[in-house]
Amino acid sequence: MGVTTATDEATETVSASVVGGSGFTGGELLRLIAGHPNFELTQATSRQYSGKSIGSIHPNFRGSELRFTEPDDLDSVDVLFAATPHGVTMEHIDAFEDAADTVVDLSADFRLATEGQYDDWYDGHSCPEKLEKAEYALPEVNRENLPGADIIASGGCNATATILGLKPLADTGVLDDAHVVVDVKVGSSEGGAGGGEASSHAERSGVVRPYAPTGHRHEAEIEQWLGLSVSFTCHAVDMVRGASATCHVFPDGPVSKRDLWTAYREAYEDEPFMRLVAGGSGSYRYPEPKAVAGTNYGDVGFELDAANKRVVVFSAIDNMMKGSAGQAVHAANVALGFEETAGLEFTGLHPVGSP
Amino acid sequence: MGVTTATDEATETVSASVVGGSGFTGGELLRLIAGHPNFELTQATSRQYSGKSIGSIHPNFRGSELRFTEPDDLDSVDVLFAATPHGVTMEHIDAFEDAADTVVDLSADFRLATEGQYDDWYDGHSCPEKLEKAEYALPEVNRENLPGADIIASGGCNATATILGLKPLADTGVLDDAHVVVDVKVGSSEGGAGGGEASSHAERSGVVRPYAPTGHRHEAEIEQWLGLSVSFTCHAVDMVRGASATCHVFPDGPVSKRDLWTAYREAYEDEPFMRLVAGGSGSYRYPEPKAVAGTNYGDVGFELDAANKRVVVFSAIDNMMKGSAGQAVHAANVALGFEETAGLEFTGLHPVGSP
Amino acid sequence: MGVTTATDEATETVSASVVGGSGFTGGELLRLIAGHPNFELTQATSRQYSGKSIGSIHPNFRGSELRFTEPDDLDSVDVLFAATPHGVTMEHIDAFEDAADTVVDLSADFRLATEGQYDDWYDGHSCPEKLEKAEYALPEVNRENLPGADIIASGGCNATATILGLKPLADTGVLDDAHVVVDVKVGSSEGGAGGGEASSHAERSGVVRPYAPTGHRHEAEIEQWLGLSVSFTCHAVDMVRGASATCHVFPDGPVSKRDLWTAYREAYEDEPFMRLVAGGSGSYRYPEPKAVAGTNYGDVGFELDAANKRVVVFSAIDNMMKGSAGQAVHAANVALGFEETAGLEFTGLHPVGSP
Amino acid sequence: MGVTTATDEATETVSASVVGGSGFTGGELLRLIAGHPNFELTQATSRQYSGKSIGSIHPNFRGSELRFTEPDDLDSVDVLFAATPHGVTMEHIDAFEDAADTVVDLSADFRLATEGQYDDWYDGHSCPEKLEKAEYALPEVNRENLPGADIIASGGCNATATILGLKPLADTGVLDDAHVVVDVKVGSSEGGAGGGEASSHAERSGVVRPYAPTGHRHEAEIEQWLGLSVSFTCHAVDMVRGASATCHVFPDGPVSKRDLWTAYREAYEDEPFMRLVAGGSGSYRYPEPKAVAGTNYGDVGFELDAANKRVVVFSAIDNMMKGSAGQAVHAANVALGFEETAGLEFTGLHPVGSP
């Protein structure tokens, strides 16, 4: 990790590549790296679109000269970002590590700590010996372990929204572990490029569609970081980007609004991408995905339901950004010693529709 | 209520009027009454659009000769449907009862049983002495009291979705009263015609927007019919019609999938508008508002989360239909002795977008 | 065609089947036939979903007992509706005619009059000898030839919108044949069930996407019925159902608003499904697809642009209904002597989103 | 205009204010100025929201300390941007010029060259003597007159899309002036914040709604810059941002695809914000608003319709950016001698829904 010592200056650049650049999160990585002051984008691979310009797939790159190359011939770079389907990185991790000092993976392959968790929640792991050295990307919960990490695993989008929403409250120790309900609403980009009948515009427009109503794999990550088991249910709704987690929790004892503000302020007041949004005036009084679309912000807010001894916590992110590619770049910034917000300064649009 | 004795024949017709016909639920009433084999639509009032054709407001009535009239001059009819804002019917209930044998109100004015509830949840009641004789419209929970009712109060849309979803399970007595979470997603028609900035297309498109995160007034109705207090939170999502309630509940003891099927089948197998949807193949495996858009169906389904000792119940309705105007017509059919499904036969469309 | 003589009474029923019942227009046919007073639905075929309930594909049929059967084993019926991809009916027309007295085809296979047209616009025709006896389904232009027809070809949705919009004006003989611009906006259901990447929700949401900007095959039908060549361009927009044709035409001489009203009133005043919408007050002043969603209406309106010597004609239909399955049933009603509006009475919803 | 001489260095900053900062284009100006390397945002006024934080209205400014101030007390700045309704700037132009060296107005007040045009298309002009010194903002057609301009008038969004689409072709002199059809599709942000019933989500979702079918005021601007009268019709469609102009034109003589490429390449190859998009592979083959959402790009493409001797030109912009606030900042950059792309580097998102 020699590069980190050289990054004292804001103008220092390292080379970066994207494996799996034609998918949605791969496209976001390309966008973020191309606009990053410290990264030089050297390669974007795509087996399916090898030879085509990246702008033919991602129209925001119209005019770019860069073309996709075959994933079997990797450039040597400082940082390799992998935006491949689950299972690919664990198969190619040796090749990725040969090509790059730092590997940042956006799949689930290196998110969990133990082989046993992969056996429980996925279909086993082909490279369990590297799980230990992999670091979870989310700086808000794992910042101290990122500098110098060789393998960084960007968190799942739904898990990220949930962890960011509940971590400050869980850390206070008041949560009733048996009744933590997380009701998530997500956009269609979460399904990735391609899609089948259920993802077609005619079938998916206007939906409020339960999917993975129980047993969602992201529960594993959430439990890992919150120390709580959560009752988790996802719904597809009519937006493209965004994940919104509404967490209904029942503290073991009395909790005041002031307690909540204190817990969340302490947790997030120094975080560059976390914003507290709870009440106020106007149309936007709580976190909602529209208000963070295209950005790396995580908006968190809450409300007290005294009658039911409940706290409702709202957490909203852009699933492609804070929930994936943005989190990956943020973690890489921390790992390599760059300014944390470098390349992630976009503040979002208003108005914006179904971003 | 002499009309009920004369309705033995399917061809019997009674006269019906709509007070407040220019709003969204008023328009649905007009549509349902105009297509009903036993109703003859005689009057539609609108203070704002008096003199205008109903088709100038509701484009599905293009070509109709009927025009809105002033609400101060009510025809004498058999049934008067009131689709006015909360507070109007309680002020005019004497005039409405003078004009009609049966009054069916779509507002909240006569939904609750006692004056105390109105003091708790609303701003008091101007005509509390009539609360006792008013009947809640939802036939699935109050069918036996509807025949011959003088005042019928159509339920709130979110309350209806919740009650339909949880009643069979609540009736088994297994629910843990302290942790009943209901997370509702609703369409923009719930806000009614008109709207302000927050309801404008630019601001409301693509939203997952919490509103009334705690203390929603529909909790009163739900508690009245389920005997449970519920932790209730609403979200605006990007659809026009529809209310979807996801109920996360924690039974006091073990519950099996078979127990659930038994409870829901027994409750709904003879109900003409209730459908159980739980699993199966294809894109539509659980209740979702798209699948009931424009219809009077209530779709209910569930899933067991053994790991968390949770049952997730999904309930989907069209907020304008089963959640308002359709429920009102259904109740009127029961009250007047007509075929229950009369005028409510529309089976919905596929595909359909954001209905 | 013995059945036609027996249909004098409204209660007369004929048997009907749908070949290709799992697609979008197939589902609409099932819905219309199931709700039709004179049709008895006896069979729905689907090679892909044979054995599955029709409700597993079309959620508005939840609870129906009917299951898809293999298309190779056709029941003998009075009327067979084919909702198969282009090219299928021309291959199987003998089998279809063996199975049914009347074949109503929703594909392009029998829409054009001559083999030469198919060679020009499609990839040749495998059964050209039957083109002559096939009749175009659109009653507004071909009613007199439908009674007793053996093969009926439902028109293309974009062509239907255009023909309905321009026919009354074209018939007056004033149109400048060289500058007839038709700019069409269509919903995603036009692409049919299935779809690929371009049809996925994430890619297709919020689009204004030109496709087939020139040389659209529907031009052939339009020219056949209007006697004009049209400069035709289609755009995909964010709705599921609907086709809207904006026709910009330049009459050879002066045309007044009164001339327009006269031409359109004379053409459509006796048509049960045509409505003139031109100006007025409120939000809905011109034809738009929302106002006809789910219905068999064709709404047509116009405006005069004196400064540019232009007439703008707006025509809006539901592409699945008036533009396909509804037109087919309407034509079958005419062919078999039923009430023209039988089974097509649905008047649409208000409000309705992206229907 | 002393400031221009001082801007040789990229780090030079000038002070800027936004009058009317709570509307949609005002919010975009705030966003662009706040992220601009050469502007320092000193004031945002709003009569309605004076005293409130700008983040309470524009959620992308959550956390900003800036608050709206009363418009009657203007700071002295180098550049004042006015995002006020039509008619306001002409009333306050003296005050604006007192406050700032350069006034950039986003309304229609100073877009046209003569008082006569205002009498024809608007309701007269209260300050006609200043029309002559005002410069149209669009650099692609008026770059040479912007440096040192005192009053700059940002173009109308629909006019901008049309002018950018047709200018290169019109300049070749081949257009048939009598048959230039421009069919525009626009998003809901064009109506501005606030909105009434027709702009409510329930009424506007899923629309293809003709408005201003003839006589649209933007025709005046278009004619001014193209030297052509255009047959112009607008449609509201379901997106929030975006304006898409499809121009159907009939050249006087033969035009080849190569001629088109030559004309458009020559016009736009050095333009930093213009991209030619005509054909190719993938889902995005022509200009469409999604592909430019949030950016200052203008995408232009075309297709030849030999059969109808027609050229179809597609032009897509973000109405809030290239069609308003982005154009204004671009023009200010030119006027003040900054890098043309300064503050306008955002490249857009993929995927993106109804942006």
pLDDT tens for the 355 residues of chain B, in order: 333 444 455 679 999 999 999 999 999 999 999 999 999 999 999 999 999 999 999 999 998 999 999 999 999 999 999 999 999 999 999 999 999 999 999 999 999 999 999 999 998 999 999 999 999 999 999 999 999 999 999 999 999 999 999 999 999 999 988 999 999 999 999 988 776 788 999 999 999 999 889 988 989 999 999 999 999 999 999 999 999 999 999 999 999 999 999 999 999 999 999 999 987 788 899 999 999 999 999 999 999 999 999 999 999 999 999 999 999 999 999 999 999 999 999 999 999 987 6
CB B45 within 8 A of CB B70: yes
The pTM is what? Answer: 0.96
Mark whether C217 and C130 lie in a shared domain: no
Determine which of A207, A240, A260, A285 to mutate to test the interface with B (most B C-beta atoms within 10 Å): A207
Of C209, C214, C283, the CB nearest to D303: C214
Closest-CA residue in chain B for A291?
B207
Based on the fold, state whether residues A244 and A167 are members of the same structural domain.
yes
Say whether both C232 and C101 belong to one domain: no
Q: List Cβ neighbours of B8 (8 Å cut-off, separation of 6 or more).
A: B337
Taking contacts as CB-CB distances below 8 angstroms, the residues of chain C near A205 are 188, 201, 205, 238, 240, 354
Does one domain contain both C50 and C143? yes
- Measured between beta carbons, the chain D residues lying within 8 angstroms of C229 are 307-308
Q: Provide, as residue numbers in chain B, all residues whose Cβ is less than 8 Å from the Cβ of C290.
A: 59
Find the mean pLDDT for residues C147-163.
97
A124 lies in the same domain as A170: no
Which residue in this structure is represented by tokens 């009131």? B82
Q: DSSP of A64-116, one letter per residue? A: ---B-B-TTSPPPEEEEEE---TTHHHHHHHHHHHHEEEEEE-SSTTTSS-HH
Please indicate whether, in this complex, the C-beta atoms of A178 and B233 are within 8 angstroms of each other: no
Question: How far apart are the C-alpha atoms of A273 and A267, rounded to whole Å?
Answer: 12
Q: For residue D341, which of D323, D322, D320, D324 has the smallest C-alpha distance?
A: D322
Q: Both tokens of residue C189?
A: 């259901």
Residue A347 lies in a domain: no
Tally of domains within chain D: 2
Q: Name the closest residue on chain D to residue C177, using Cα atoms.
A: D308
* Sign, CA torsion B15/B19/B23/B25: negative
Element (H, E) at B188: none
Mean pLDDT over residues C49-61, rounded? Answer: 95
Neighbours of chain A (3+ CB pairs under 8 A): B, C, D
Backbone angles phi, psi at D141, to 5 degrees: -120, -10
Residue C346 is assigned to a structural domain of this protein: no
Residues of A within 8 A of B307 (CB-CB) are 214-215, 229
d(CA D195, CA A283): 14
Judge: B59–C24 Cβ closer than 8 Å, yes or no: no
Average the pLDDT over each of B328-332, D2-6, D117-121 and give the range with the smallest value: D2-6
Which residue in B24, B193, B197 is closest to D193 by CB distance?
B197
Contact D240 B205 (CB under 8 A): yes
Contact D107, D129 (CB under 8 A): no
A227–chain D nearest CA distance, Å? 31
Is D348 within the bounds of a domain? no
Q: What ipTM was assigned to the predicted interfaces of this complex?
A: 0.95
Mean pLDDT of chain A: 94
Question: What residues of B are in contact with residue A235 (Cβ under 8 Å)?
Answer: 185, 244, 246
Task: Determine the residue of chain A that is closest to D52 in CA distance.
Answer: A281
Position C344 in a domain: no
C193 contacts A195? CB cut-off 8 A: no
CA distance A167 to chain B (A): 19
What is the model's pLDDT at position B10? 60
Q: Do C350 and B60 touch (CB under 8 A)?
A: yes
Catalytic residue numbers of C read 157
List residues bridging with A302 in a β-sheet.
A313
Residue A9 scores a pLDDT above 60: no
Are the beta carbons of C60 and B355 separated by less than 8 Å? no
Residue A114 distance to chain D (closest CA, Å):
34
Q: How far is CA A74 from CA A18, A21, A71, A154, D59, in A?
A: 10, 13, 6, 21, 41
For residues C214 and D305, give the distance between their C-alpha atoms in angstroms, rounded to a whole number. Answer: 6
Which two tokens mark C41?
């639905």
Q: How close does chain C come to B299, measured CA to CA in Å?
A: 10
Give me the residue label for tokens 């004196």.
C306
In this structure, the answer to whether residues C203 and C239 fall within a common structural domain is yes
CATH code for position D310: 3.30.360.10
- Could you list the residue range(s) of the whole structural domain that residue C221 is in? 157-317
Q: What is the Cα–Cα distance from C239 to C136, expressed in whole angstroms?
A: 27
Residue C342 placed within a domain: no
- By C-alpha distance, which of B95, B5, B83, B86 is closest to B44? B83
Q: What is the mean pLDDT of residues C226-246?
A: 96
Q: Please state the rounded mean pLDDT for residues C52-60.
A: 95
Mean pLDDT of D86-101: 97
C3 confidence band (pLDDT: 50, 70, 90) = very low
For position D10, what pLDDT does the model report?
Answer: 60
What CATH number did the domain enclosing B100 receive?
A: 3.40.50.720
For D255-276, letters b (16+ CB in 10 Å) and e give beeebbeebbeebbeeebbbbb
Question: Which chain C residue is nearest to residue B22, measuring alpha carbons?
Answer: C350
D175 in the same domain as D137: no
Residue of D nearest to B352 (CA): D206
Query: Does residue C257 carry a pLDDT above 80?
Result: yes
Taking any CB pair shorter than 8 Å as contact, residues of chain B touching chain C are 24, 27-28, 31, 34-35, 52, 56-63, 187-189, 193, 239-241, 275, 277, 280-282, 284, 290-291, 293-295, 299, 345-355
Claim to verify: residue A13 and residue A143 sit in the same structural domain: yes
Which residues from C are below 8 Å from A189, CB to CB?
202
> Per the domain annotation, does C233 fall within a domain?
yes
Nearest to B84 by CA among B150, B23, B159, B138: B23
All chains having 3 or more CB pairs closer than 8 angstroms to chain B: A, C, D
Indicate yes or no: CB of A62 within 8 angstroms of CB of D349.
Answer: no
Do residues D286 and D172 share a domain?
A: yes
User: Using the beta-carbon criterion (under 8 Å), do C204 and A206 form an inter-chain contact?
Assistant: no
Does residue A350 belong to any structural domain of this protein?
no
Q: Do the domain assignments include residue B249?
A: yes
Q: Burial code of B182-206, b = ≥16 C-beta within 10 A, e = fewer?
A: bbbbbbbbbbbbebeebbbbbbbbb
Q: Is B247 a catalytic residue?
A: no
Same domain, B304 and B331: no
Let me know whether A100 and A136 are in one domain: yes
Same domain, residue pair A150 and A162: no
> Per-residue pLDDT tens for C258-289?
999 999 999 999 999 999 998 778 889 999 99
